[in-house]
Structure 1
Amino acid sequence: MSRLDLNPWDIRTFHINPIQSSLIFHNPNLEFESLIQHLKNSLSRALDFFPPLAGRLVATPHGEGMASFSVDCNNAGADFTHAVAPAVSVSDIIEPSFIPEIVDSFTPANSGATNFDGIWKPVLAVQVTELADGVVIACSANHTVVDGASFWHFFTSWSEISRASESISKSPVFDRASAVAEENRQIHLPTVEQNLIAPSQLPMKVFHFSKEKLGQLKAKANSEAGTDKLSTLQALMAHLWRSTLGSSGDSTTRTHALGFAIGARSRLPCFPDAYFGNAIYPVALAISESDLLKGELGTTALKINQLISQHSNEAIKCDAEKKLDFRSRPNAPSGIAPPLVISSSPHFRVYDCDFGWGKPVAIRSGKTYKVEGLVVVSSAAEPGGIDVEVCFTEDTLKAMEDYLTSH
């Protein structure tokens, strides 16, 4: 494989940040010198199965400020950093409900890069950090090359190789089967200022939902909506969205927005389960604060369900493959509260990443996810549970905690 052309599904992610996640493990009971070499060797072997991650982005100019993008699978390599934090223990990371600032240092040094920087920087960067009683393995990947499903496909495959497997259980599919017009692959080169969502200094807090609690939320939402079609994730999204309003019950005229991505792998035949690339479509829902307060959990969850149902598979495909224009970004209208944006998914097999000394005890996102209103959803270490990392002001996080504790 020498080249991978990026299509509009990939290109639309230029305006967001790279994907970053860290897995935290207890002490692997190995000498770190040999462990680091083992992880380097297994990473190198894993990249044989994922050549775009060892390549570089290439911009092909077409005149008048237009360019198309591809990945030159030139085996230029991934970045690998070995770091040491001997005074930090696993409990220091996973026990506080507010994510400690030290977690930001676990992501690779070039993790502040934009997706455009993939032209001269590695598509994939890895950092392995020694702790007093454990190890953190973190990856940062260019979002134009991978979405969440592809990111974790690679991460779990690397762990398979690390466990001495000769091959991987699911081979990636790189074929861009969807016929996208060549002119739709060309975009006006955007500026970083227009398209980078800069990380903030706001705190991040972890909320845990057990399997039992999630079952209660789903049952309550379906009962209140008079249906049986609301999923666990739809009920949870509605619950989190309502929690941002606080528990005071004060009604205002502000509008609240919820954004999330619809996965296309299960919807469109051109995207098989092992498709390696971006196969997500962003959608958003806006409701007045007074309506959110007056409604029930089931009412809100049903609106989310209806939004998803309104987007037919073919409509998503046609809209996602339209020509993109990054030259300007609309300003948010006044009276709009910071949107709640749901990222990642509890369906990713995070805890299957066993590198040979046991499964991780926790997952934490990278500093690029520190954007006001961003919610990172992942499966919990406890089977059936879900953990969410939320970035908001301290006042909003306190209001969410009060609401989630009492509801």
Structure 2
Amino acid sequence: MCEGLRVKIIEQSQVSPPPRSTSPTSLPLTFLDLPWLFFSPSQPLFFFDFPFPLSYFTAFTLPNLKHSLSLTLQHYFPFAGTFLPSPEPSKPHIVYSEANSVSLLVAESADDFNHLCSNHARDVNCFYPLVPELKSGTKELALMAIQITVFPGSGICIGLAYLHVIADGRTFNNFMKTWAAYSSSQASSFPCKSLPFYDRSVIMDSHGLEGVFLKQWRRKRTSFIDDTKVNSSLSDLVRATFLMDPTQMEKIKRFIVSLCREKNQSQPVHLSPYVLTCAFLWVCMLKTHQITSNEHVHKDPAYFGFIAGGMTRLQFPVPATYLGNCVGFGRGSAMRDELLGEDGIVAAARAIGGTIKKLDKEMLDGAEKWVSDWEEIYGSELHVVATWSPKLKLYETDFGWGKARKIEEISIDKSKAISLIESRDVDGGIEMGLALPHKKMDTFTMFFNQGLNAIS
């Protein structure tokens, strides 16, 4: 158990874009932003090796990080703005003025950096002192906060908290890579084609979804604001990371194909590395829940939720540098007794792959049910939700110290989601981050390892 990681505050400041580099701006939320009003903030932590003393960090590294952040904010200035959940009949919107800034907290820790960066089960409470807190007022909320924690002689942790209404994973990734490029002197200036695109008119609401989501938001808008604070009392949860490498993915694929041929069944329509990983993960999670809860196997639906990129799926073009949300929601469904049977992984792959194919054909078909569908599964122990995406290549973020040692998403503790990002060290591999009660983590680990060995 973690006895409670302690950090010593070194500095607390506000970072703004360079003077006169930006103009006051108001950005209304589009129908693709609005569903994110129902989700708590994202809280990613980036751990980097940094074998230098604190004096070196404060004298050289910190000024560079603050200056490069300021340069980045001249392009991504909405991140320094605030979210206004306006009363009816106005729409919620994002506002930036020259008085706005991003809160930057700098801290020092004497904790074990290597322990925090490991893959084995660790107490989730060890991580919360590294997470910045978003400030909220009576009428507005900060969109982003940053905390940099130094482990002298060992490493640096860059922790962020941001509201999803400002950015999907793609936009956040562009922000981080821009900051890293300025910090590592890889970019003295950016070509126009790389700058964020703000024009919200490119998001066309041909299905009338804005009204649907606004009505749902106005009906229950309290949970979003109340959920912006860090929860530091998750005493029984541990965090661990599991790796699925391409060799294991290929073995799972061969197993599924062989089983379908043996039983004269059609193969799942889509067996990508992501589908194979998620299918295996889904079955392991269901088995874990069944064993640890002592439940009988019921013939009821189980769901697997995930985020689907919209850049290639929407019927209208959206620039790759568009600043905002351009994703949809997918929810695969299969009967629980089927998923727990001998053909469970086939059923899981069929459900997830089939959902992806439907999204490929028409991402917005049934989108009016996105919020209600996800409310049914988000935070549930009976269903599984995957967040982030291996396609983002988050480990390519380099501030000049090399690729991150480890990346963790802290918000999964409360949401009970699973983070999926690319592997740091295995080309084509996928890292899965989980937070479970200790007993469940042991059981999941057993099913995960036994399942891979059985397929091998």
Supply the distance in 2 between the matched residues of 1:351 and 1:37 (Cα, whole angstroms): 23
Query: What does 1:4-403 correspond to in 2, within 5 Å?
Result: 4-27=27-50, 29=52, 31-33=56-58, 34-62=60-88, 66-75=89-98, 76-85=100-109, 87-95=110-118, 97-100=120-123, 101-110=125-134, 120-132=140-152, 133-164=154-185, 165-168=187-190, 170-176=194-200, 177-180=202-205, 186-187=214-215, 188=218, 190-193=220-223, 201=234, 202-225=237-260, 226=267, 229-246=270-287, 252-253=297-298, 255-268=301-314, 269-294=316-341, 295-311=343-359, 313-314=361-362, 316-317=363-364, 319-320=366-367, 337-366=381-410, 368-371=411-414, 373-382=416-425, 383-403=427-447
Supply the distance in 1 between the matched residues of 2:138 and 2:361 (Cα, whole angstroms): 31
Whether the 8 Å CA contact 1:28–1:135 is kept in 2: the answer is no
Structure 1 residue 118 displacement after superposition = 10
Supply the distance in 2 between the matched residues of 1:118 and 1:278 (Cα, whole angstroms): 25
Supply the distance in 2 between the matched residues of 1:168 and 1:349 (Cα, whole angstroms): 20
Supply the distance in 1 between the matched residues of 2:150 and 2:138 (Cα, whole angstroms): 27
CA distances 1:157-189 after superposition (whole Å, capped 9, x unpaired): 110111121134732222221234685685426
CA distances 1:197-220 after superposition (whole Å, capped 9, x unpaired): 696723322112233223323343
Structure 1 residue 192 displacement after superposition = 2.3
Whether the 8 Å CA contact 2:270–2:354 is kept in 1: the answer is no
Q: Residues 210 and 311 (structure 1 numbering): CA distance in 2 closer, same or farther, change over 3 Å?
A: closer
Q: Residues 35 and 72 (structure 1 numbering): CA distance in 2 closer, same or farther, change over 3 Å?
A: same
Whether the 8 Å CA contact 2:387–2:419 is kept in 1: the answer is yes
Supply the distance in 2 between the matched residues of 1:306 and 1:118 (Cα, whole angstroms): 44
Structure 1 residue 139 displacement after superposition = 1.5
355-364 or 51-60, larger mean C-alpha shift: 51-60
Higher relative contact order (CA 8 A, sep 6+): 1
Q: Residues 252 and 317 (structure 1 numbering): CA distance in 2 closer, same or farther, change over 3 Å?
A: closer
Structure 1 unpaired stretches of 5+: none
CA distances 1:220-262 after superposition (whole Å, capped 9, x unpaired): 3344453673111111111011002337988511543211122
Whether the 8 Å CA contact 1:16–1:195 is kept in 2: the answer is no
Whether the 8 Å CA contact 1:217–1:232 is kept in 2: the answer is no
Supply the distance in 2 between the matched residues of 1:69 and 1:256 (Cα, whole angstroms): 33
* Alignment-mate amino acid for residue 252 of structure 1: V
Whether the 8 Å CA contact 1:99–1:206 is kept in 2: the answer is no
Whether the 8 Å CA contact 1:77–1:122 is kept in 2: the answer is no
Structure 1 residue 29 displacement after superposition = 3.8
Q: Residues 96 and 219 (structure 1 numbering): CA distance in 2 closer, same or farther, change over 3 Å?
A: same
Supply the distance in 2 between the matched residues of 1:267 and 1:118 (Cα, whole angstroms): 38
Whether the 8 Å CA contact 2:386–2:419 is kept in 1: the answer is yes
CA distances 1:261-295 after superposition (whole Å, capped 9, x unpaired): 22111212333322221112222233332111222
Whether the 8 Å CA contact 2:173–2:394 is kept in 1: the answer is yes
Q: Residues 323 and 372 (structure 1 numbering): CA distance in 2 closer, same or farther, change over 3 Å?
A: closer
* Alignment-mate amino acid for residue 39 of structure 2: I
* Alignment-mate amino acid for residue 166 of structure 1: S
TM-score by length of 1: 0.86
Supply the distance in 1 between the matched residues of 2:397 and 2:279 (Cα, whole angstroms): 30
Whether the 8 Å CA contact 2:169–2:388 is kept in 1: the answer is yes
CA RMSD of superposed structures (Å):
3.1
Q: Residues 299 and 394 (structure 1 numbering): CA distance in 2 closer, same or farther, change over 3 Å?
A: same
- Give the number of aligned pairs: 392
Structure 1 residue 319 displacement after superposition = 4.9
CA distances 1:305-326 after superposition (whole Å, capped 9, x unpaired): 1122233554x33654x59999
Supply the distance in 2 between the matched residues of 1:261 and 1:185 (Cα, whole angstroms): 17
Structure 1 residue 140 displacement after superposition = 1.3
Q: Residues 330 and 79 (structure 1 numbering): CA distance in 2 closer, same or farther, change over 3 Å?
A: closer
Structure 1 residue 119 displacement after superposition = 5.3
Percent sequence identity over matched residues? Answer: 20
SS at match of 1:88: coil
Structure 1 residue 353 displacement after superposition = 1.1
368-377 or 210-219, larger mean C-alpha shift: 210-219
TM-score by length of 2: 0.77
Structure 1 residue 28 displacement after superposition = 5.5
295-304 or 183-192, larger mean C-alpha shift: 183-192
SS at match of 2:404: coil
Structure 2 unpaired stretches of 5+: 1-22, 261-266, 452-456
192-201 or 47-56, larger mean C-alpha shift: 192-201
